[in-house]
Structure 1
Amino acid sequence: MTHVREMASADIEAVSTIRVRGWQAAYAGIVPRTYLDAMTVEADASLRRQRFSQPRGKSRDLVALGEHGPVGWVCFGSCRSPIPGPRRVAEVYALYVSPDLIGQGIGRGLLDEAHSRMKGQGFETSALWVLQDNHRARRFYERAGYRADGATEDDVYDEVTLTELRYRRAL
């Protein structure tokens, strides 16, 4: 069983490891191998330390703790892209679990806690972006009540264009 709490600066190395290993596992066969191989925990941790040293913005970072420290991470805040309508919309910016622990409910626990905190901040809807070809993540989010809303966005990774789909759900 894991416990979810706010991320602390002492969690940076663990979160960077989770994020980089998560990318390399989840996006193998989707994102070019050259891009994934170039990712390093050290570079990610350096950027994360820089971000942590700045005044806290409106984004929130939560970690799921296992026996030996963080095993999952979620980051969320106000939606970065305009969505028509009067509702206050939050966005899940990132959600990663240690690849060897996927399927144990850690991601769902992090997502549920993020949803609870979003709702507590007055948000009515949650949105997120997921790579079109990441079928595992799409199934995960669909089981959590998310649905594609028709919006797409293209990102380029080492000269390969990949499409992301925006998903939304009511809180």
Structure 2
Amino acid sequence: MTADDCAEVAKIRIRGWQYAYKGFVPQPYLDGLDIAADADRQRARLLAGDRRVVNLVVDGDGGKLLGWVSLGPYRDGGTRTEDAELYALYLRPRYIGRGVGRALLASAVRHCAAAGHPRMYLWVLKDNTRARRFYERAGFAADGAEEAFEVGGAVVPEVRYVKDLRG
């Protein structure tokens, strides 16, 4: 991902939130998401240069970005461990179920394994069965950890998934 990709990545992320989290996150919150502000945040993070955080994009349709994934060291209570974490994976909604997400996730897993991370973690909304099935088909499994976060005035529970990368 380059700084030039940030506006499209912001569109993908926000449209992804609006599609995937409808019914889980308050609608006024989803409706209020701001693509331009998100692009500015994405660009600032990218230009700040934490080299441990990797942002990958997939393009198609004449160079148009179709999806984005962000990964890096696992964040455990503010500390970093030797494990990896998938921070985000979003697609343009019309590309869901067409192999784009599987390809992005596989690339992220390969990247983390090649970097020597023993495990890869991710958090997913507890009630988002579509996303949970997607990660389970890719070899991730819920490990029993649960956490909730507040978004738009609602408490939304998440579950943690893990995949062993050691072969």
TM-score by length of 1: 0.90
* Residue in structure 1 matching 2:66, options 63, 71, 76: 71
SS in 2 for 1:118: helix
- How far off is 1:63 after superposition? 0.2
The corresponding residue for 1:144 is 138
Residue pairs, 1:114-153, within 5 angstroms: 114-153=108-147
In structure 1, list runs of 5 or more residues that go unmatched.
Answer: 1-6
In structure 2, list runs of 5 or more residues that go unmatched.
Answer: none
- How far off is 1:122 after superposition? 0.5
* Residue in structure 2 matching 1:167, options 139, 158, 161: 161
State how far apart, in whole Å, the 2-side matches of 1:40 and 1:10 are: 18
* 1:104-163 deviations in Å (ceiling 9; x for gaps): 010110111111110111011110000001111001001001111011111111221110
Show structure 1 runs of 4+ deviating over 4 A. none
Which amino acid is the alignment partner of residue 75 of structure 2? Answer: R
Aligned Cα root-mean-square deviation (Å):
1.2
- Does residue 58 (structure 1) correspond to residue 65 (structure 2)? The answer is no
- Does residue 47 (structure 1) correspond to residue 47 (structure 2)? The answer is no
* 1:69-125 deviations in Å (ceiling 9; x for gaps): 21000000000016xxxx931000000010011000101101111111101110111
Which amino acid is the alignment partner of residue 112 of structure 1? Answer: A
The corresponding residue for 1:91 is 85
* Number of positions where the alignment pairs a residue of Structure 1 with one of Structure 2: 161
* Residue in structure 2 matching 1:105, options 85, 99, 103: 99
SS in 2 for 1:113: helix
Which amino acid is the alignment partner of residue 3 of structure 2? Answer: S
State how far apart, in whole Å, the 1-side matches of 2:16 and 2:49 are: 27
TM-score by length of 2: 0.93
SS in 1 for 2:97: coil
State how far apart, in whole Å, the 1-side matches of 2:129 and 2:110 are: 25
State how far apart, in whole Å, the 2-side matches of 1:36 and 1:107 are: 22
State how far apart, in whole Å, the 2-side matches of 1:147 and 1:49 are: 32
SS in 1 for 2:124: strand
The corresponding residue for 2:17 is 23
Fraction of identical pairs, as percent: 44
